[in-house]
Each structure stands twice: as C-alpha cells, then as structure tokens.
C-alpha cells in the first residue's frame, strides 16, 4: 500500500495509484464552512474542538485528527494570503483565540475583531467592517453605490506589486513545511501565496471596461503582476520547494454560464500571460500548479492545458458544459481534476442520503477512472450541508476509491 505522499505524487506524474487520493480540505477552495465542518467532526467521531476560521470564505482549517479519520492524503501547509495567523507552524495555538459567532464557539486569529449586533448580524471589523446579515453565514462584500459611474483609468505606473515575499514569512513557511514533511506522510500543498493575475484595476466593472477600451493598459498591469509572481515563485522554491508538492493560485474566470468576459477576450488578454507564467513555473520549481477557477471554464480548458496548468480546481459540475463524463473524456489524460464530487448547487438540504450517495458515487466513478483525479467536493461547501450528506459523500468515496 502506498503512503499518502507516494499516492499523490503518482497522480501528479500521471500514473495510476493504489486508490484515489482524498484531498478534501487540502487547499483553501476545497473545504467546508466552519459550521458544516462541525458536522463533519460529528460524522467522523473526532473531538468537537472549536473549528478554526480560515479565509474570508469562512471555511475551516482541516485539523490533523480530521484528515487522519477520513484517511486524507493532502494537508494544507499554510494560507498566507487569506489567513492572518499560521495554521500549522509549531506553537500556532498562541496566535489564535476563541470567538462566539452565530451562537457557537470558533477560533480565529488574534488580530481579527468581530462585533455581534443586537439583531444577530455580525460585523467583521478587521476586514473592512463587512457584514454577515442576520440569518446568513457569509459576509457581504460591499459594492460601490454606482457601479457604472464615470471613472478615470488607473495608471499602471502607480502599480507596484512586491517582487519579494517578506523574509519572516519565508522562514515560517520553510519551518512549517519541513516539520510536516518530516513528521507526517501527507502530501503538502501550500495555499495561495504569490501574486496572481486576477488584478482588477478600477474594480470589477472598471477592469472590464479597461479590457475593452484600453487593453494595452490592462496588459501593463498583467505584465507587472507576472514579473512579481515569478520573482516570488523563485523565493518559494528556495524556501519550500524540497518539501511541497503543490502550490495554489487562483483566478475566477467563469460563472454558471461560461467564461465571464468571453473566451475570445480571455485568449486575447490573459492567455499570453498565463502561458508565460506556467511555462516559467515549470522551469523554476518542481511544485505542481493548482489553479482554482470557479464556473463553466470548459471552453478554455484546452488553453489552460496548453499553458501548462497541472491541476484544475474546483470542477464546478453544475455549471454549463461541465458534465463530469465529458470533462473526463476530453481532458482526463491532460490535466488533473481536483473536486467535482458534491456540488451544493445540485442538492437541497432535505435531499436524502440515498440521493446524495448515488450522485456522488457516480461523479467519483467517472472522474476517478484511470487516475488523474483528487477527491473533494466542489469549492467550500456551505453551512447548511447536513451531516447525512457528508456521511453520504464519504461513504461514496470509500465505495469507489479503489482502482
């Protein structure tokens, strides 16, 4: 029987391992809301310790006792761009505190400040005073009062993404990765760390206008982002490259209908920079690239494969043209799929165990056939996923994981 690290590395090299790797919780976009994670703790029968809140998506850090209980294979080393405290570094406990949210106890980084309003709404003061309304479990992102107001095109000369990562961060990542590599047999995945290319000068609407009205200005921003990403990647290779198997990066290209800006504009603007990014990536480091992009991205999957992407996450099978069987047939030998097991958009909380079990089992059977697949749900599953659904997901995985 393979170790977790051997199993994952076999898939990364496009070999068929002894079973489908369980990578649930192995990156920031393949987990559970902290409330759903409490249900997972109950299903697995592990101690009900207060979950730790990682990222603005309010998902949980998958603790080692949970990974071990579900026979997981991938562990998230750290989440530098999304979490204000280390999640694995020995002694991390001192940098977390207990916090009451939604009538329950969780753990958050000591720097985070929350305020619960009289009506039950929660204000995340240290993250720009974003609000989780009463009855909700996610924080709203504030938008401008007039999204179509006139604006001045930003000047790329004023954009200076950092060429270097902070030395203390690099030391922390190196220490954590070394510790996990030596003390566990898990495959190590480092969360989003380097500068990415999803910059939006002028905000979401402003960036879309910029792409059409002043594409050369947008290219200037992308060029600087690319230079920053590659410089930081060289530093990461020196710090953790000998320990880490997978490094994540994100850019949400799609929505439920397809490529948000259209595939032609995507190819015109973004593809040249992603080609350079991932081709240079392969020269700089042996860490495999895990690209997260929501939505129906099938139209550009051939382009991403040509660019050199190694893993694609979250495989949003509810989106247009994202049927598992067709994805696997068309691209299964060229890219590794990470996700696609349970898509919350396809289920209701009242759906039966049997309904969930049957659909998830079929998804995993199709996506896992012949290798090239990491098991997990689609993105971070929401707070209202019931325990019986989680039980069905795990049982379906256990039923089809052996080749």
Residue closest to 312 by CA, chosen among 59, 15, 23: 23
Task: Say if 120 falls within a structural domain.
Answer: no
Report the DSSP beta bridge partners of residue 130: 124
**Share above pLDDT 70 across residues of the chain, in percent, rounded to a whole number:** 97
Please give the tally of structural domains in the chain: 1
Angle at 294 between CA 290 and CA 296, to 5 degrees: 115
In a domain, 131, yes or no: no
pLDDT category at 150 given cuts 50, 70, 90 is low
pLDDT given at position 391 = 98
User: Looking only at Cα atoms, what is the longest distance across the chain?
Assistant: 62
Angle at 168 (CA atoms; ends 194, 174), nearest 5 degrees: 70
> The domain spanning residue 260 has which CATH number?
3.20.20.210
The two beta strands, 336-338 and 311-313, are parallel
Query: Residue 144 pLDDT > 80, yes or no?
Result: no
pTM: 0.96
Nearest-CA neighbor of 372 among 1, 5, 16? 16
Q: In this structure, is residue 344 part of a structural domain?
A: yes
Q: What is the pLDDT of residues 224-263, one digit of tens each?
A: 999 999 999 999 999 999 999 999 999 999 999 999 999 9
pLDDT at 205: 86
Question: In this structure, is residue 261 part of a structural domain?
Answer: yes
Phi, psi values for residue 179, rounded to 5°: -60, -50
Residue 354 CB neighbours (<10 A): 10
Q: Is residue 190 part of a domain?
A: yes
Here the tokens at position 18 are 């002894």
Specify the pLDDT at position 39.
Answer: 97
Give the pLDDT of residue 24: 98
DSSP H or E stretch at residue 228: helix 215-240
Query: What range does the domain containing 182 cover?
Result: 4-95+156-400
Within a domain: 186: yes
The chain-wide mean pLDDT, for the chain, equals: 95
Q: Tokens for 182, please give them.
A: 């030596």
pLDDT confidence of 154, banded at 50, 70, 90? confident
CA distance 192 to 324: 26
Phi, psi of 30 (to 5 degrees): -150, 45
The answer to whether residue 188 sits within a structural domain is yes
Counting every residue written for the chain, the total comes to 403
Report if residue 198 sits inside a domain: yes
Calculate mean pLDDT across residues 53-67. 95
Q: What pLDDT does residue 145 have?
A: 44
């Amino acid at each position: 029987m393979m170790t977790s690290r051997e199993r994952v590395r076999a898939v990364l090299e496009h070999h068929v391992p002894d079973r489908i790797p369980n990578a649930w919780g192995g990156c920031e976009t393949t987990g559970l809301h902290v409330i759903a994670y409490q249900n997972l703790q109950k299903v697995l029968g592990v101690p009900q310790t207060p979950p730790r809140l990682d990222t603005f998506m309010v998902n949980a850090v998958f603790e080692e006792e949970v990974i071990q209980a579900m026979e997981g294979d991938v562990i998230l080393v750290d989440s530098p761009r999304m979490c204000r405290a280390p999640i694995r570094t020995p002694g991390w406990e001192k940098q977390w505190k207990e916090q009451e949210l939604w009538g329950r106890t969780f753990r958050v980084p000591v720097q985070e400040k929350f305020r619960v309003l009289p009506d039950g709404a929660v204000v995340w003061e240290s993250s720009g005073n974003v609000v989780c309304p009463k009855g909700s479990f996610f924080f709203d992102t504030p938008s401008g009062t007039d999204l179509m107001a006139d604006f001045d095109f930003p000047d790329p000369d004023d954009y200076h993404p950092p060429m270097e990562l902070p030395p203390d961060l690099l030391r922390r990542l190196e220490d954590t990765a070394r510790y996990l590599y030596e003390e566990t047999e898990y495959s190590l995945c480092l969360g989003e760390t380097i500068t990415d290319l999803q910059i939006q000068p002028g905000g979401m609407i402003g960036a879309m206008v910029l792409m059409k009205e002043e594409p050369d200005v947008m290219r200037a921003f992308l060029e600087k982002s690319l230079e920053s990403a590659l410089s930081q990647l060289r530093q990461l290779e020196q710090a953790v490259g000998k320990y880490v198997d997978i490094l994540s990066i994100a850019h949400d290209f799609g929505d439920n209908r397809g490529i948000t800006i259209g595939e032609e504009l995507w190819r015109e603007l973004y593809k040249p920079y992603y080609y350079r990014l991932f081709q240079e990536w392969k020269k700089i480091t042996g860490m495999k690239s895990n690209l997260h992009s929501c939505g129906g991205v099938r139209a550009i999957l051939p382009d991403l494969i040509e660019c050199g992407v190694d893993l694609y996450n979250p495989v949003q099978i509810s989106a247009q043209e994202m049927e598992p069987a067709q994805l696997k047939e068309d691209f299964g030998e060229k890219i590794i799929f990470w996700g696609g097991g349970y898509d919350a958009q396809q289920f209701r909380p009242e759906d039966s165990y049997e309904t969930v079990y049957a659909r998830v089992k079929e998804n995993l059977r199709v996506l896992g056939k012949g290798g090239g697949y990491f098991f997990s749900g689609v993105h971070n599953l929401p707070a209202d996923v019931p325990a019986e659904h989680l039980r069905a997901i795990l049982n379906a995985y256990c039923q089809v994981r052996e080749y």
